[in-house]
Amino acid sequence: MDVGLLLEPVDTVKYDFIRLSQKETWGVLMRDDHPLAFRESIRPEEVVNYSLILPLRERVRAEILNWLKREEKDLNIPLSYTLLSNAALLVEEGLGCAFCLDGALAIHSSPRLRFVPVYPEHMTRSVLIWKKKHLFSPAASLFIQEINMLRAQIE
C-alpha cells in the first residue's frame, strides 16, 4: 500500500503524514430499542455494563478504555471490528453496542440504528500517511507531491 488514511492515534515514526483538519466525534452505535438509544449523550458509567464492540486497533482501543476508565478484563467485549460496516451489522443483530465515529450511519444506514455521542465529548482526526523514503509508483509519487504542496500552503 502506498498511502493510507488512518484514524488517530497513529504511530507516525516511520511515516510522513498530513493530519486532516476535520474533527470527528466518538460515540456509541446501538439499536433503537436499546435503553440508552435516545439519550443526548452517554457517560462512561452508563455504558460499561453493556456488551461492547470495540475497534481491533490497539491504540484506538486503548483510548476508548481510557475514556471508560476501565481495564479490558473488567468489561464485556464479545466482539471486535476492523470494518465499521461489519460492526454496524453486529449491532443491528443485537450483539452489542459499538464505539465508533459519528459517520457510522453514513456507512451503514438503518432505521434500527442510533448513534449517541459520548460525554465528555471526545474528538479525533484522521491522518493521511505514507512511508518515509519509499520508492512509490508514478501515480502515488504524483499524489504525494500534490499532498505536500497542499500541506505547504496550509502551514
pLDDT, tens only, 66-89: 999 999 999 999 999 999 899 999
How many percent of the chain have pLDDT more than 90?
A: 61
Q: Quick one: 54 and 117 in the same domain?
A: yes
Q: Quick one: 87 and 103 in the same domain?
A: yes
Of 20-24, 50-54, 107-111, where does mean pLDDT reach its minimum? 107-111
Q: Quick one: 14 and 85 in the same domain?
A: no
Q: Is the pLDDT of residue 155 over 70?
A: no
Q: Quick one: 13 and 38 in the same domain?
A: no
Q: Quick one: 59 and 71 in the same domain?
A: yes
Q: Is the pLDDT of residue 105 over 80?
A: no
Q: Quick one: 91 and 138 in the same domain?
A: no
Q: What is the pLDDT of residue 154?
A: 72
User: 33 or 133: which carries more pLDDT confidence?
Assistant: 33
Contact 29, 100 (CB under 8 A): yes
Counting the structural domains of the chain, the total is: 2
* Domain ranges, residue 73: 24-124
Q: Quick one: 131 and 118 in the same domain?
A: no
Q: Is the pLDDT of residue 133 over 90?
A: no
User: Rounded to an integer, what distance in angstroms lies between the CA atom of residue 54 and that of residue 66?
Assistant: 13
Of 51-60, 92-101, 105-114, 124-133, where does mean pLDDT reach its minimum? 105-114
User: Which 3-state string (H, E, C) describes 35-70?
Assistant: CCCCCCCECHHHHCCCCEEEECCHHHHHHHHHHHCC
Which amino acid is it at 119? Y
Q: Quick one: 37 and 15 in the same domain?
A: no
Q: Quick one: 105 and 48 in the same domain?
A: yes
Q: Quick one: 93 and 41 in the same domain?
A: yes
CATH number at residue 87: 3.40.190.10
Report the chain's mean pLDDT, rounded to a whole number. 91
pLDDT, tens only, 29-51: 999 999 999 999 999 999 999 99
Q: Quick one: 47 and 120 in the same domain?
A: yes
Strands 15-19 and 126-131: antiparallel
Q: Quick one: 72 and 143 in the same domain?
A: no
